[in-house]
A = this chain, B = another copy of it.
Amino acid sequence: MASAQPLFLRACRGEPTERRPLWLMRQAGRYLPEYREVRAQISFLDLCKHPELACEVTLQPIRRFGFDAAILFSDILVPVEAMGCPVVFPDPGGPMLPQPVRVPADIERLRVPDPAAEMPFVLEALRRVRAALAPATALIGFAGAPVTLASYMVEGGSSKNFTLLKGLLHGAPAAARLLLGKLADTVALYLAAQVEAGAQAVQLFDTWAGMLAPDDYSEFALPYTAQIVSALRARSVPVIVYVNGGGTLLERVARTGCDVVGLDWRIDIAEARARLGPERPVQGNLDPCVLLSTPEVVARKARTIGAAAGARGHIFNLGHGVLPETPLASVEALVEAVRDLP
């Protein structure tokens, strides 16, 4: 039975695999000409809400590169909007939240949305993708982790120093916990619905938790992520937790109970594995900027990471999302180099 499962899922479970699985964070995106073609017709947020087109762009990198997993094209802020906190995506520019959440009354007003009723387009896109994918290609669902979502909601967008978020964590910890608890409930329901709709694994993106001091991670990130992981346990899908800038937090990330620790490029993958132990699969961790150099450099760096990671329990990925200016030839070189890894 186990060998009939997609390669990616077997690697997530730490089983031996015939080769190293590969996918790329933000693999459906602007570096692909076919994606830019779709986006010329439709805004980013409208694309997230259009199941047919979201399915199409999710499949584009699979068709072109044969990655071992597809990840739904969507945005981590979709459930934030459904909670009652509007989000806009200026183009160009990062997301903006014109009604930030700053005082307890703002937090009390937030809903825990029913995914089927308020984010049906996500579930419909997942069903379409799953129906279209070959059985050997896994489908990954995803969500933002609570403290990362909270950072957008409190700061009103991206931030340099996260002074407002940290002001809430340190100055009004009870209010912060109420917010983080609602986010954990929301994400747990949202990911469970994604699994029902066809996601075979899920990844939590904790894009900004790496900006927290470790004690603050332990207090304001770990328990909420752990709650989500625990809620998904009964669904028997692997959970990947990726903390950008989380190299100093690895042991804490593992304590969330996740199946796979996603690594950014700022940690030596052999050191990460030594700290986490051989039984904990890892995912990562090529610096996305390496893809801006030559195919030779890409292949060499990929081989170095492959050797340092070891074959078992390693899912090859970048350490962060593909950059829009990435040449296709670099991705081709990466696919080839990873295919040849022992």
Chain A residues engaging chain B, CB cutoff 8 angstroms? 161-163, 166-167, 170-171, 210-216, 245, 247-248, 265-268, 271, 287-290, 292-294, 297, 301, 304, 319, 323, 325
Q: 10 A-B Cβ contacts within 8 A?
A: A161-B288, A161-B323, A162-B289, A163-B323, A166-B287, A166-B293, A171-B293, A171-B294, A171-B297, A212-B266
CB-defined contacts of A271 to chain B, threshold 8 Å: 214, 248
Distance of A271 Cα from B266 Cα, bound (Å): 18
In the complex, are the beta carbons of A292 and B163 less than 8 A apart? yes
Distance of A162 Cα from B319 Cα, bound (Å): 15
Name the residue on B nearest A288 (C-beta): B161
Decide: A290 near B170, CB < 8 A? Known: A210-B266, A214-B267, A266-B212. yes
In the complex, are the beta carbons of B293 and A170 less than 8 A apart? yes
In the complex, are the beta carbons of A161 and B248 less than 8 A apart? no
In the complex, are the beta carbons of A297 and B170 less than 8 A apart? yes
In the complex, are the beta carbons of A266 and B245 less than 8 A apart? yes
A272 smallest CB distance to B (angstroms)? 9
CB-defined contacts of A301 to chain B, threshold 8 Å: 215
Distance of A248 Cα from B268 Cα, bound (Å): 8
In the complex, are the beta carbons of A268 and B323 less than 8 A apart? no
A169 smallest CB distance to B (angstroms)? 9
Distance of A213 Cα from B272 Cα, bound (Å): 13
The residue among A210, A214, A290 with the most chain B CB atoms within 10 A of its own CB is: A214
CB-defined contacts of A216 to chain B, threshold 8 Å: 287
Distance of A213 Cα from B301 Cα, bound (Å): 11
A159 smallest CB distance to B (angstroms)? 11
Name the residue on B nearest A290 (C-beta): B170
CB-defined contacts of A163 to chain B, threshold 8 Å: 289, 292, 323, 325
In the complex, are the beta carbons of B161 and A289 less than 8 A apart? yes
A162 smallest CB distance to B (angstroms)? 7
Distance of A21 Cα from B329 Cα, bound (Å): 54
In the complex, are the beta carbons of A214 and B171 less than 8 A apart? no
CB-defined contacts of A248 to chain B, threshold 8 Å: 247-248, 266-268, 271
Distance of A70 Cα from B231 Cα, bound (Å): 52
In the complex, are the beta carbons of A166 and B268 less than 8 A apart? no
A218 smallest CB distance to B (angstroms)? 9
4 closest A-B pairs (Cβ-Cβ)?
A: A247-B248, A170-B293, A166-B289, A214-B268
Distance of A260 Cα from B246 Cα, bound (Å): 24
Distance of A319 Cα from B216 Cα, bound (Å): 14
In the complex, are the beta carbons of A293 and B167 less than 8 A apart? yes
Distance of A155 Cα from B326 Cα, bound (Å): 18
In the complex, are the beta carbons of A167 and B267 less than 8 A apart? no
